[in-house]
Amino acid sequence: MSELFKISLPDGSVREMPEGSTPADVAAAIGPGLAKAALAAKVDGEVRDLGRPFEGDAELALITSRDEEDALELARHDYAHVLAEAVQSIWPGTQITFGPSTDDGFYYDVMAPEGRDPFGMDDLPKIEEKMREIIKADKPLRREAWSRQALIDKWQADGESFKAEWAAELPEGEELTVYWSGDDWMDMCRGPHLPSTGKLDPAAFKLMRVAGAYWRGDQANAQLTRIYGTGWLNKKQLNAHLHRLEEAGKRDHRKLGREMDLFHLQEEAHGSVFWHPNGYKIWRELEAYMRRMMDGGGYQEIKTPQVMDARQWEKSGHWGKYRENMFVIPDEVPNVEDEGPVISGDADWMALKPMNCPAHVQVFKQGITSYRDLPIRLGEMGCCHRNEPHGALHGLMRVRQFTQDDAHIFCTEDQVVEETRKFCQLAARVYKDLGFEKFAIKLATRPEQRFGSDKDWDKAEQELRDAVADAGMATEEYGWEELPGEGAFYAPKLEWHLTDAIGRTWQVGTIQSDRVLPERLDATFIGEDGGKHRPVMLHRAIFGSYERFIGILIENYAGKLPLWLAPMQAVVAPIVSDIDGYAGEVLAKLEAAGIRAEADLRNEKINYKVREHSLKKVPHLLVVGKREQEEGTVAIRTLGEKDQQVLSLDEAIAMLKANATAPDLRPEVTTA
C-alpha cells in the first residue's frame, strides 16, 4: 500500500494523496474547473510544474491566471522557449543559448546557422507565425532529469556548443533538468513551465526587435542575436501594453528635448548633458524651488571638491566596493613631450567623486560638535561622476555626469526616527507640488554583502519602519512594502517610487540610515556625558539627480510642463506686421510681471506660428490683431485647448502670473 501525503490547501483543508500524486491531481480532485484553470503550483512556497510529483507532506497553492504576477512570469518564460523552438524549426542548425523573462516580456539569444546572416527585423513575422503554430498545437511541456555527462553528450551531438559549454561548467553531481515540448524539441531549463504550449494565448505576444549580444556578455566571445518579445496573458493586456509603448514613444524625453530645444548629447562627452537655454531654465526653476524647500527644512547648503585622494575613498569603503564605477586620475603633471608615456604610472591616484557623502563627513568633522548642535543638515547641489558603460547610457535617464539634490543629516540615535519622519513629509510635499499624486514607499533591507553589525542593521531597519509609520505612510495607499536584500552595502534605505501619467513607475528619492560611514571616517560629537559619540548619518535625496528627474518630468507631462516650469511661458504673436508695436508693448508688460515671454514678429501666417509653438510646447500663445490693439486685449490660445479666450491685457497678465507662480510661493487658499 502506497504512502499517503497530507496536502494542506490555502483554505485550511487537508487532502490525503497517494505517493506519486501531483498538484494537477489535487486540482482534478477539487473540480474540473480548477483542473482546467490551473497553470502551476506553489509547493511549500516554491513555484513548480503541475505535473511534478509531491515528495512528501506539503502546503499547496494552485496558480491560475488570477495570480497575475506568477502567471505572467510563467507565460513569459514559456514564450521564450516557444521562440527558440520556432527559430530552430524554421532554420535548422540555429544554436540557442538562454532566454529569460523580463519585466514586460522575454528574449532569447541565438546564433544563426552557418552561411546565414544574423537574424533581423524582417524575420520576426515568420517567427511569430511559427510560434503561433506551436502554441495552437498544444504541445505538452514535460520535465526530465538528466545526468550532466548525458546532457553534454546530447548538446555536442546536436551541435549546440554553447549549451554544451554551459552544462560542462555546472557542478558535478547536480541534477540537471530539461523540458520537452512534445517529443521533438527540448531545452535545458530549471523550470517551472506551464502544462502545455496551449496554455499560452497565441494573440497575446509580439516580437519587438533584435539586437546584438555577446555570449555570456563578453565582447571576446561569439556575437549572437537577441530577439526581444513582449508577452501577456491575453490580447487585451498586450494591446494595453502596446498603447503604453506608443504613448511612451510620443513622450520620449530625447525626442521632446530636440523639439523643445532643451538639451543635446554628443560623443565627445559621453553621458554628459549640454543644456541649452530653454532646458537650463527648467533646471534653475527646480533648483530654486529645492533651495526654498531645504531652507525651510533647516538645511545648510555647502559645496565640496570634485576630486579627492583615493585614500579618502579607501577609508569610506567605496574604493573596494565601487571603484569600477569611478573615474580615477593620477596626481601628477602629464608628460608634454612627444616621446614617452603621457603619465608615469608612479603617481598617487585621485578620483572624481561618484557621491557627496565622504566630503560631507569632512565638513561635519571641522571643529568640535556638541550634541546640542544636532541635528546638523548639510545639503549640496553636488555634481558627481560615475563611469557607466557606454551601452547603458540613455538620454537624461542614465548619464555619467549628474547633479544630486543631496543632503546628509547628522543626528543622535534618538533623533533618527523624527528626522526620517520629517523627510517623508517633505518628500511627499515635493512630489505632489510637481504633479505626482501617486507614489509608493519601499524599505530596502540588508544585502548579503554589507558592512556593519547585524545589531546595527536591525536597529536601522526598525527606525525606518517606525518613521514611515509615524508619518502615516506605512499603508497600502502609499504602496508600503519591504524589499529584502536591496539595501546599500552600508545602510538600509527607504525608496520613493513615483507613478507617472501613463502608469510607469520611477524610483527617485531615498533616505538611508547609516552607522558605517561615521565609524569608518571617524565622525564624532561630544555627548551630554562629555564623551565622544558617533552620529547617525542619514543620506537623503528627493529628485535623485536633476538630469533624470527633468527627464521624468518631461515624459510625465509629454512636454506640456506646468506653467511655472515651462521654459517659455508665453509667446506674443501679431497677426499682421502693423501690430508689431502693440505686440512689443504686450511683451514688455509680460516681462515686467516676471513672465518668461517673447514676441514672434516673423512675417508668417498665424496658423504657422500656432503649429510651431505648439510643437515647442509653449503653454500660451497671445494672438494680437487690430481689434486687440484697439481694445487693449489679447486672444489667448492655451496649449491643448481648442477654444481661445479674449481678456484685457491686465487680466491676462494676472492670470498668467498666478499660474506661473511656483506651488510653494502661492498664497494659501483659506475658507471661511
Catalytic residues: 357, 386, 404, 406, 408, 493, 539
Residues 76 and 230: their CA atoms lie apart, in Å, by 8
Q: Is 453 exposed, middle or buried (0-12, 13-18, 19+ CB in 10 A)?
A: exposed
Query: Which residues have a Cβ under 8 Å from the Cβ of 302 and sit 6 or more positions away?
Result: 360, 363, 378, 379, 380
| Nearest partner of 327 among 351, 305, 348, 304, judged by Cα | 351
Residue 519 cell numbers, joined: 565609524
- Contact between 565 and 553 under an 8 Å Cβ cutoff? The reply is yes
Q: Three-state SS string across 245-302, please?
A: HHHHHHHCHHHHHHHCCCEECCHHHCCCCEECHHHHHHHHHHHHHHHHHHHHCCCEEC
Phi and psi torsions of 40, nearest 5° = -165, -170
Give the residue from 496, 497, 495, 488 showing the smallest Cα distance to 515.
488
309 CB neighbour count, 10 Å cutoff: 13
Q: Please state the φ and ψ torsions of residue 300, each to the nearest 5 degrees.
A: -110, 130
| Contact of 148 with 117, CB cutoff 8 Å | no
Cα–Cα distances (Å) from 358 to 539, 642, 661, 664, in that order, read 11, 54, 37, 32
The string of DSSP letters for 32-71 reads HHHHHH--EEEETTEEE-TTSPP-SSEEEEEE-TTSHHHH
Show Cβ contacts of residue 35 under 8 Å, excluding neighbours closer than 6 positions: 24, 27, 28
Q: Per the structure block, which three cell numbers stand in for 609? A: 506660428
For cell 523639439, what's the residue?
Answer: 259
For residue 366, give every residue at least 6 positions away whose Cβ sits within 8 Å of its Cβ, in sequence order, or none.
none
**End-to-end Cα, the chain, rounded Å:** 82
Cβ atoms of residues 249 and 538 within 8 Å: no
